[in-house]
Structures are given as structure tokens and as C-alpha cells.
Amino acid sequence: MSEINSEIKPRCHAKYYEYIQEIDIQFSHPRVEKLKLNNLFIYPDLEVKSNYSEDVNSIINSERFLELESKIVILGEPESGKTALIKQLFVFSLRHNYLPIIIDANCFKFFEFDKCLDKIVSNTYENISYKYFINYSQRICFVDNFSSTNISERARKELLKKLDKNFDRIIILAEDIFRYDIPHYKELDEYQVLKLLPLNNVKRTQLIEKWVGLESEEDYQNNHYWQRIDTLKRHVNSLVSTTIVPAKPLYVLMFISSFEVVNTKKIELTSYGHCYQYLIYQQLERGRVKPDEIEKYFNVLSELAGTLLDGKQYTLSELELDDFFDNYSQKYLSVDRSIVINKLTEANILNNLEGGIRFRYQYSFYFFAAKNLADNLYQNIKSEEKIKYLISKIHLEGIRNIILFLTHHTKDPRILDEILYSVMELFSNNIAITLEKNSLPFLQSFASQIPDLVLENRDTRQERRREDELKDEIEKNNSSDEEPQLNIEATPEFKLFNDIRQVFGATEVCGQIFRNRMGSLDRDSLELIYEESLMSSLRLLSIFMQINDYAREQTIRKIEYFIENNPEYSNSKIVKVVETFFWDINYDLILSILTKIAHALGSNKGEDIYSKVTKNINTPAAYLIKLIIDLQFKKDLDVDNISKLYRKYIKNYIFIRMLKQIVIKHCYMHDINFKVRQRLISILKIPVDVEREIVFLKSRKSDY
């Protein structure tokens, strides 16, 4: 760095720094009156693209942008946080001895480049002259809104040439659709192209931890802290997904904020539908739709979604759109098609493509398709048959989401009845799994041969991060650009598979109804929802056990036959390996489905319902599900109850092992008081990693 560069520490104007820290939308926080960008910003991941294609080279944290090429283009969807990223990278660069400026391409006049640049520098820094700036060796230029429709192609190219002559490091942000234009700009040949990604599980957790961290100065290592974190995580994660609505920082914060607003006002509006409705209102507001016009726009969107649902499609061609508005004007007062489409496109609710019009995100299609169904609910036999048909297809993700929204738009009890009837019919001839000692003889007899579980001392945050990373890896491997099906006709060979998905789908919907309407449904209805959903899932689990048991017997039979014809091989060792393999599969399957049931039906309320139904069923499986709900949702580590369950089922090896595993995992994911840990170890007779426990004892002497 030259001598001139080391003489002055660049300092921003107070007003400009205030702009840098501004958040475009103010979110309601219970403790902070006005949130700033640095309160909540999480560095998003960037996907490195190769030759502007869809091939992915790697994913990098945007905080490491200085390690990338000196000239980069970052592409992002509308509302994906591009401007917030530029602001944060500006601050980051300044702290690392770079001298950054931000150019808004919308307002920059390339033919007066030096004059405009001089003005930007003087508006940004209070102690830096333009001469000082242009002689500084580590300058960075951030360019926002580069793909704006207000800028001509010629203007963009001239701006790129000017930037190239004046800056060694340039970061350009543009809309995702600009990737199709990049090959037409030879000036961008040397630029590395990256895509701004939504927040994954790890980063959503980091954002939620920042939000909760603003609430109090107290030590966060307690159950209340983790309960707040987990409550918000469940709320957010139930609302975002790659196929419904992407986890953009703006949307995640809206969902968190809506949850906080609702809790503050003590109103039961945290349901699936209300959160999306809140998001839709925000989008219409940003699309400059007047408050007195919202009902009209809602009606257009409802009819449009209904037309798409009837056609089992996601897009209307231009010709189909003409027919739609013709039919609409016959049924309702005419609307100006051009204005309506433009405003809804600007609000990012619709996407106007060459192939026609469609909803930009599937959540808005599901929301309005369900509204259309609710508005015409049971008006005639046709609408009644449509509801029954959709519920029969609840195993399809797209239909399941529509049914979820339908329960938001209407409280008609017939909807719930139809869902419960559909699930009660499935596997009705099978007995629900109980996990009693005399059931599952193979698992029970083999359990005593499996090494006991050991309680280690693990860092709670690291353990939670590992779990989030595992979820991200699974989601990455299962990700698909295919849209959820709205219609798949069942075939005999896939009937069992569809029935299994039907049970899981109906259980998920029933869980949402159970949680969202706990304050309005009578006790009998709540008990019926919980019991029937739980029992249908346990009947399904018994099917899985029968299939796996049959597979185990067939495999062992084939091995024994092989041994008979090949006496040189050891029979016992091979059979033992096979039995261990099947034991692991069955054990993990049971525990994962019990956990899935608990997560689908659980809540931090409804203790009376859970307790009564569990007592009535009175099986080890029901008690384990109740325990998982208590730990996951209420963070209620009731040592006396755990002791009672241990004594009651002490000779049931499978139950005891699962009880230990559930408790151990809870200890890993929460900061448990040392005395409580010692009681659990004593009651459950859990071996402890002695070396790690000594370290743990030294670090927790304050607990005594």
C-alpha cells in the first residue's frame, strides 16, 4: 500500500452508515424497537457456476468473497437479499483495509463517470477526497441493480468498460434471469458467475439464534433458550421448502416476525395458512396494490388458481389466459387484465413467462386454490366429490398442501371427518404395534446381545450444528426441480406405497389441524384426531415390521441353504451378521417413525389430550411418543416420569434401550444441569465415557 493510503483511516458519513445498516422492512421484535442489518445478517452461501451453465462447481460462504476472482457477478432472485449482501460486504471490506463504494446502476450516468464517482465518494466518506480514493490501491466497487430494466444494453456495456479501467475488484449483483444475457456481454467474459442461495438449515438456525440472542442479556445456556430456538425453528421449517417457498432471509424473518406479533397479541394465528397470508399481504403492498383493491386481487388469484387446479396444471398459456379473463368478466365485474397481471408480477406473486402465466411460488398457488375450494365448499354434488377426490390424493405433496390451506380457509367439520375416515380405513385389519415385551420376539431376544448405549459429554451447539448439516446433506441429495404432482392415478403395484404415503400425509394434516385449532375444537374432537392419527401410524409401523421380518427369514433361509452346500463356511458367523443387520434396520425404523409421529402431532400445548389418550392406549409405544413430545416441544425433562417408565418396563429390552436413546439425545441437544444428568445416569444405568466426564465435571463445578 502506498504512503498516502496509510495516513488516513477512512470514515463513513454518519448518515451513509445509517443507510448501510437500514433494513428495508422493519420486523417486529419483542425487545428491539428498531432492528439494524448487523443485528440479523447471516452470510448466505454462493453457488459457483461454470460457463454460465447449470453445472455446479462448488458452494462457498459469501463471507469468503475476497478469496474469489477479483471480478464476479452474483445472481439472485427478487427479494433474495442482494442489496443487504452488498451492504454487509461493504462493511466487511472496510474493516479489512479495502476502500469500497456502492454504485446503484439505476442512477449512475456512465457518460459522466468521473463526476458521478466523485459524488459517490464524497457522499460515502467524510474524510476521503476523490483524489485519495482513486490513488488507493485496494478499491472495491459494488454495483447493485445491474439488470434493471431502466438500463439499456449499451449503457451496461459502457459502464462495464469504465469500471474495468478504474477498479481491479468489481462485484456486480443482478437478477437471476440476467444469466441468459451474460453470454451477450463480452465485457463479462472474465467475470466469475455465482448464484445467491436461500438459507439452508444451518444458516436458518444461525439467523434464529441471532434473533433470540437480542432478547436478553442473560446466559442462554438453559432450557428456555433452547425452547425458544426450537419453537421458532419448527415454525420456520414447516413453512419453507424448495418446492413451496424458498428460504430467503426476507421470508424467514417475516415468518419469525409474524410468529412474534401473534404471540404478543395472544391471538391464535400461527397456523400454516395465516403465515402465508401475512406474506401475501406484504407482497401485494410492495407491488403497490391499494388496500381497497386487495379483495379484488384476491378474487382474481382465487379464480386463477381454481382454473389451474381443475386443469391439473401450473401454467396457463396466453390463449388459456384470454379464456380465463373472458369467463371472469362474465361472472364478476371486469378488471383491467394488463394492470392486474403487471401488478401481481411486480409483487412477485405471478410470473409472466414466454410460455404463459403461472404463480411464482407454489405456496401462493396452494393458498388460492384452497381459497377457491373453500368459497365453493359443498355448494353442489360436484364440489363435494372434488373434496373427496382431493383427500383421496393426500399422499401427493401438492394436494396435501392444498388440503392444509383448505383447513385454514374453512372450519367446516366435514373436511376433518373426511380426512379421518380416509386414514381410519387404511390398514384397518392390522393391529397397531405396541412394543410390549411379548411382541417382536426377534428384536426382544436379540436386544440383550447389543452393546449398551454410552453417554458422552458433547458440546450442545456443535451437536445441533451436526444435525442441521445432516439435514442439509439429505435435502441436497433429495432435491429436485420437478414440481409436486397434482394427479397420479394409482396402479395395483404402487397401491401399498400410495397407502403408506396416504397415512403419513393425513397424519401431517391432522397434526396441523390439532395444533392450529386446539383452542376452538372440543376435547372429544382433539382426542379423536390425536388417537386416530397415532393409531393409524402405529398400524403402518406393524406393516413395516412384518415386511422386514419376512425379508430377514428369507435371507437367513437362503444363507442356511448355501451353508448346507458349502460346509467350509461358518454358519453361525454369517447368520449373526445378517441378524445384526436386520436388528439395526428394524430398531432404527421403529424409533424414527415414533419420532416422526411425535413431530407431526406434537405441540407445547394439549397436555391433557396427550396424557388421556396415552393412558387409554397404555402401550410402551404410546408412552415413548408422549415422552418425545414432552422433550421436543415442552423441554420437560421429567426425571420422575422417566424413572417411573423405566421401572414399569424394566424387563422390556427394546423399550428400555429406546428410552435411554431418547434421553441421551436430549442431553446432547440441550445444556442439562450436572445433578440432573447424574440422576438420569443412575436411574437408567447408563455407562459414561469416564475420561470425558472428568473434563465435564471440571467445567461444571458451578452446578454443585
pTM: 0.81
Task: Work out the burial of residue 330: count CB atoms within 10 Å of its CB; fewer than 13 is exposed, 13-18 middle, 19 or more buried.
Answer: exposed
In the DSSP assignment, the letter for residue 313 is -
CATH superfamily of 3-197: P-loop containing nucleotide triphosphate hydrolases (3.40.50.300)
Q: What are phi and psi of 31, to 5 degrees?
A: -120, -20
Count the residues in the chain. 704
CA 385, 391, 393: angle at the middle one, nearest 5?
105
Would you say 245 and 657 are in contact if contact means Cβ atoms under 8 Å apart?
A: no
C-alpha cell at 108: 449512475
Give dist(CA 516, CA 508) in Å, integer: 12
Give the pairing type, strands 356-359 and 350-353.
antiparallel
Which DSSP string do the residues of 52-118 spell out, in sequence order? TSS-EEEEEEGGGGGGS-SEEEEEE-TTSSHHHHHHHHHHHHHHTT-EEEEEETTT--GGGHHHHHH
Q: Can you give the residue ranges of every domain in the chain?
A: 3-197, 202-270, 280-410, 441-703
C-alpha cell at 371: 381459497
Which DSSP string do the residues of 31-44 spell out, in sequence order? S-SS--HHHH--PP
Largest Cα span, the chain: 92
pLDDT at 704: 33
Instruction: Output the 3-class SS for 396-449.
Output: CHHHHHHHHHHHHHCCCHHHHHHHHHHHHHCCCCCCCCCCCCCCCHHHHHHHCC
CA 235, 237, 238: angle at the middle one, nearest 5?
65
Q: pLDDT means per 10 residues in the chain (704 residues)?
A: 59 94 84 90 89 61 90 92 95 94 84 88 94 92 87 86 92 92 92 94 95 72 79 87 80 84 46 79 88 94 94 90 94 92 92 85 92 86 85 86 88 87 79 89 74 80 92 81 61 68 86 86 93 92 79 70 65 68 83 93 92 96 97 91 96 93 92 89 83 44 39
Task: Work out the burial of residue 514: count CB atoms within 10 Å of its CB; fewer than 13 is exposed, 13-18 middle, 19 or more buried.
Answer: buried
Task: Work out the burial of residue 126: count CB atoms within 10 Å of its CB; fewer than 13 is exposed, 13-18 middle, 19 or more buried.
Answer: middle
pLDDT at 274: 78
pLDDT at 458: 84
- Give the CA dihedral 442, 447, 449, 452, nearest 10 degrees: 170
pLDDT at 428: 75
Give dist(CA 564, CA 672) in Å, integer: 54
Give the pairing type, strands 169-175 and 192-196.
unpaired
